[in-house]
Structure 1
Amino acid sequence: MAGLKYISHYPEHIQDQAKALIEADRLGDYLKQKYPEEHQLQSDKALYQYVTELKNRHMKNVGTLSQVSYNSKLKVLKHALGIHTHQSRVQGSKLKSHNSITVASVFKEAPLEFLRMIVVHELAHFKESDHNRAFYQLCTHMQPDYHQVELDMRLWLLWRELEKNES
Structure 2
Amino acid sequence: MQQLKYFQHYPDSLQAQVKTLITDEKLQPYFKSKYPSGHQLQNQQALYQYCTALKQRYLKNTPRLNNVSFNKHTDMMKGTLGTHTHKQHRHGQKLKTRYDIALNNQLKYAPEAILRALIVHELAHFKHADHDKAFYNLCCNMEPDYHQLELDLRLFVVLDELGMNFYTQI
TM-score band by shorter chain is: over 0.9
Question: Is residue 2:117 matched to residue 1:89?
Answer: no
Please report the RMSD computed on the Cα atoms of aligned residues, expressed in angstroms: 1.6
Q: How does 1:7-156 map to 2 (within 5 A)?
A: 7-75=7-75, 79-156=79-156
Aligned length: 164
Structure 2: gaps of 5 or more residues: 165-170
- TM-score w.r.t. the length of structure 2 is 0.91
Q: Is the 8 A contact 2:124 2:135 kept in 1?
A: yes
Q: Percent identity?
A: 49
Give the Cα separation in 1 of the matches to 2:79 and 2:25.
27
Give the Cα separation in 1 of the matches to 2:79 and 2:3.
16
| 1:38 shift after superposition | 0.4
| 1:54 shift after superposition | 0.5
SS at match of 1:74: coil
Q: Is the 8 A contact 2:77 2:157 kept in 1?
A: no
Amino acid at match of 1:26: K
Change (3 A) 1:76 1:32: closer
Amino acid at match of 2:160: R
Change (3 A) 1:78 1:68: farther
Give the Cα separation in 2 of the matches to 1:75 and 1:117.
19
| 1:78 shift after superposition | 7.4
Amino acid at match of 1:43: N
Amino acid at match of 1:125: H
SS at match of 2:75: helix
| 1:76 shift after superposition | 6.2
| 1:61 shift after superposition | 0.8
Structure 1: gaps of 5 or more residues: none
Q: Is the 8 A contact 1:7 1:155 kept in 2?
A: no
Name the counterpart of 1:4. 4
- TM-score w.r.t. the length of structure 1 is 0.92
